[in-house]
Structure 1
Amino acid sequence: MNRAGVLFIYNLLLPIFFVIAFPGWLVKMWRRGGFGSGLRQRFAIYDEVKVRGGIYIHAVSVGEVLIALRLIEQWQKLDPEEKFLLVPTTSTGHAVAVEKAPAGVQVIYSPLDFPFLLNHCFSLFEPRLLVLIEAEAWPNLLNRAGKHGIPTAFANARLSERSEARFKKFAALTKPIFSMMDLVLVQNDADRSRFASLGIAPERIEVSGSIKFDPTGSVPPARRDEFQLALDGFGAGRQVVLVASTHTGEELLIANEFLKLAGNPLLVVVPRHAERRGEIIKQLAEIGLKAVVRSRGEVASGEKGEYLLADTTGELKDWNAHADVVVVGKSFLGRGGQNPVEAISAGVPVVTGPHMRNFEPLVSELENTGALRRLSSADELKSCLSEILSSPEGYIPYLSSANEVLHSHEGATIKSVKALQNIALTDPVNP
């Protein structure tokens, strides 16, 4: 099937999907604070246009936004006059973008993937390049960019074996979409082969390394006085088990194993989605644990069974610096895992469940150093955590080796910027 046929089918089904999904989408926006101007921007209604003729960077949620910000920071070092439009999809991603965006960056919500909305957006902002972080490809977004003469690129792209198989299963529909890409910057040679199998010309694919794992110029997690004060409220000197980026059901699963630990460690839970706080509080209360909720400004009372629920967006990085061991979420009950790098760079041992495919081959490389322990099930958590907490100094050599693995991605950010600069149009687009 050619591109026109794929787009015809997509645009025929898109309104139906939108009508079905719209109520749930509104509920999610309400929970995450995405109403107001955010809702108007979804329909390409903007109060002002601060950036015209810049680089349009599409970043779905918090993780992609942070990668985009690193890319922008490096780009501005090379070209301080460059302007950027940072375009998150989720309200949490938007909040982080607004908080952290430097001068010369306008943050807007991504418009819905309808051609007339994208045409309006591109006509207003006149971007010279469309960059999609980690291969988030929307058919009309790519097609409309092409119609407006805007080059398109993936940055920090990765593709798991499972995703490759799924795309290849529907190759008649996916190849015409991926073939619209002008440049694909991938993290490693395996990603290069996978993207090539989707119909992207090999000469358009470059291995740049991972921006997320690039240690160049990055600020490692740092201990914060406010965090330490909160932890000391539970009793000074307690070892900290940080449960990071958890998904539904994982807090309860991990907490049940935590309760079996000897000594008096402190449990700190940082869920992936802060709006799940009520669910988490209720579930852990059923096994005798009482939440001290950071977003509410609560402080520990000294009661037995208290734990810290750090449900504030954008703080996970520095919580890693206060941990004695980090347990990574979306790896026991979820699928794909979450990023273990910030914990490693903070000099902290990492424990994961079996499902970490989204971070391969890095996870296997870190596992080989001994700094990361991948368990086959939550049943192994108690013994693993006990071993780490009883002799934390024994992990220092392992963590040193793990940091050497991270340094293999050194320079990925500047390499990505230079490749993107080469395809960015010199003048703003005027269709």
Structure 2
Amino acid sequence: MRQLFALTLYRLILPLLFLAAFPGWVVKMLRRGGFGTRLGERAAVYTTPLEEEPCGTVHFHAVSVGESLLALKLIREWLLAEPDRRFVLATGTATGHAVATGADIPGLRVTYSPLDFRWMVRSYLNRFEPSQIVLVEGEVWPHLLQECKKRGIPVRLVNARMSPRSARRFSKFAAWLRPTYSLLDTVATQQSEDAAIWQTLGLAPENIHRTGSLKFDPGSGSRPARRPEFQHILDSFGKNRSVVLAASTHPGEDSLIASAIREADIRALPVLVPRHAERRAEVTADLERAGFHIVLRSTLPPNHLPTSGGVPESEVGSGFPDNACLVIDTTGELRDWTAHADAVVIGKSFLSIGGQNPAEAILAHIPVIFGPHMENFQPLASHLISTGGCICVQDSEELAESISAALDPAKAKDMTQAAEKLLTRHQGATVRILHLLKQP
């Protein structure tokens, strides 16, 4: 009875939620350039001829950029063993779609995942007839799981993570959530401590597997790599300057972090990467009020190196004022910009709840600093703090001091070695996940 009531309530609320969210979604798509990227596929309206679609293959569902990158990591690894296999990657956002399309993987069909209306889900499944659906970190949708169960299509959730806050909330409403979550065939968790909550949600113990984190697996895929075109851009601000990168900043953090960088080392170049590129105008205004000259990545060609007063390019020291700040307002480049940094400050950890992923900086051997809010990356964040693998600060005053410390080569070496040692606990996660996905 409870299951029927919950499903009926969901079906009544879903159209209302869609109508309430639709105007904001349109604005977001306009900002992110989503229109013109087959957005009709969100409503199961397709323009690709049916005979050209890859039917009966594995589908990865990735909500946005981070999940899309993880899905691409799994697909590339799978293709090493089976180069002729085709895949479908379904994303939920225009930015995720752009990253997946830009990966340029032969045989990969990039689409949008359907909204969770029954007729849209059925149309999607009728068209592609997937052999299995792999949800990367989330999201779990009732109609999708129900339809897949009816058709015998396994649905597996990989790289599942559950923050303590989420676990408490899920436990509280477990009786209402269990009918949906119990439809999952397999859950691959990042840590063994999460097994209990998934059992509470209705999964049998034999269907829960601790694989480690796909994000934190240092032994698979490529690490962040320095790009010559990025170095050209950095050189145009003055050669041999320390680079402090603020990764995935959220509103209010941009000027806070940039000002702390300037206080820590007047010669250090602040490089800010907003979590959402369409915030560029807001970020620019915030930084200009703090006294910075803003240079947007999107306005510079890849090989940018300005000249000055007839001096040859190779001899130019700097084409920008000393108070310049570089803002990376392009999508999908954060990973390799990280490799050019001397220290990385993690966004969404000061004025927002949750934090952002520190793994890429750690894999690039760059010292990491974050604020008090890293709830979404526990227990890794706590372990990093306790082992000296990072610096955790409480306010902007501590941040400036910590940036200064992280720029010291000896301190940086100690931090990066301790941090990478922690990541080795997740070594082989990619291989373990693929082994699960290849099971019948």
TM-score by length of 1: 0.94
1:343 matched to 2:361? The reply is yes
| CA displacement 1:381-407 (0-9 Å, x = unmatched) | 011112222x22332133223212112
| CA displacement 1:196-230 (0-9 Å, x = unmatched) | 22222222111111111112232111111111111
Which of 246, 252, 261 matches 1:249?
252
Please give the residue correspondences for 1:314-353 in structure 2 after superposition, counting only pairs within 5 Å: 314-353=332-371
CA 1:262 to 1:396, structure 2 compared with 1: closer, same or farther past 3 Å?
A: closer
Which of 77, 89, 95 matches 2:92?
89
State the AA in 2 paired with 1:119.
Answer: R
Q: Distance in 2 between matches of 1:190 and 1:377?
A: 31
The aligned residue for residue 417 of structure 1 is 434
Please give the residue correspondences for 1:115-130 in structure 2 after superposition, counting only pairs within 5 Å: 115-130=118-133
Shift of 1:246: 0.4
Which of 397, 412, 416 matches 1:379?
397
Q: Distance in 1 between matches of 2:395 and 2:196?
A: 31
Q: Distance in 1 between matches of 2:226 and 2:152?
A: 47
Report if the CA contact (8 A) 1:369-1:399 is conserved: no
Q: Distance in 1 between matches of 2:104 and 2:191?
A: 28
Please give the residue correspondences for 1:225-240 in structure 2 after superposition, counting only pairs within 5 Å: 225-240=228-243
Please give the residue correspondences for 1:142-181 in structure 2 after superposition, counting only pairs within 5 Å: 142-181=145-184
Report if the CA contact (8 A) 1:53-1:83 is conserved: no
The aligned residue for residue 14 of structure 1 is 14
SS in 1 for 2:60: strand
Please give the residue correspondences for 1:33-48 in structure 2 after superposition, counting only pairs within 5 Å: 33-48=33-48
Which of 388, 398, 405 matches 1:370?
388
Shift of 1:60: 0.4
TM-score by length of 2: 0.92
Report if the CA contact (8 A) 1:336-1:355 is conserved: yes
Which of 242, 258, 261 matches 2:261?
258
State the AA in 2 paired with 1:370.
Answer: G
Please give the residue correspondences for 1:51-200 in structure 2 after superposition, counting only pairs within 5 Å: 51-200=54-203
State the AA in 2 paired with 1:38.
Answer: R
Report if the CA contact (8 A) 1:371-1:395 is conserved: no
| CA displacement 1:295-324 (0-9 Å, x = unmatched) | 111767332311111111111111111111
State the AA in 1 paired with 2:11.
Answer: N
Shift of 1:416: 0.7
State the AA in 2 paired with 1:11.
Answer: R
Q: Distance in 2 between matches of 1:382 and 1:401?
A: 22
Over the aligned positions, Cα root-mean-square deviation in angstroms equals 1.6
1:402 matched to 2:405? The reply is no
Give the gaps of 5 or more residues in structure 1.
Answer: 424-431
CA 1:148 to 1:3, structure 2 compared with 1: closer, same or farther past 3 Å?
A: farther
Q: Distance in 1 between matches of 2:426 and 2:185?
A: 23
| CA displacement 1:163-197 (0-9 Å, x = unmatched) | 11112222232111111111101111112222222
The aligned residue for residue 315 of structure 2 is none
Q: Distance in 2 between matches of 1:240 and 1:414?
A: 34
Q: Distance in 2 between matches of 1:119 and 1:125?
A: 10
Q: Which has the higher contact order (CA 8 A, sep 6+)?
A: 1
1:272 matched to 2:258? The reply is no
Q: Distance in 2 between matches of 1:37 and 1:229?
A: 32
Shift of 1:101: 4.5
The aligned residue for residue 327 of structure 2 is 309
State the AA in 1 paired with 2:143.
Answer: N
Q: Distance in 2 between matches of 1:304 and 1:147?
A: 63
How many residues end up aligned between the 2 structures? Answer: 422
The aligned residue for residue 309 of structure 2 is none
CA 1:322 to 1:252, structure 2 compared with 1: closer, same or farther past 3 Å?
A: same
| CA displacement 1:44-76 (0-9 Å, x = unmatched) | 111224211101111001110111111112222
Q: Distance in 2 between matches of 1:7 and 1:290?
A: 53
| CA displacement 1:122-160 (0-9 Å, x = unmatched) | 000000101101131111121121122211110111111
Deviating 4+ runs (over 4 angstroms): none
Q: Distance in 2 between matches of 1:412 and 1:142?
A: 25
Shift of 1:37: 4.3
Report if the CA contact (8 A) 2:63-2:138 is conserved: no
SS in 2 for 1:422: coil
Q: Distance in 2 between matches of 1:330 and 1:398?
A: 21
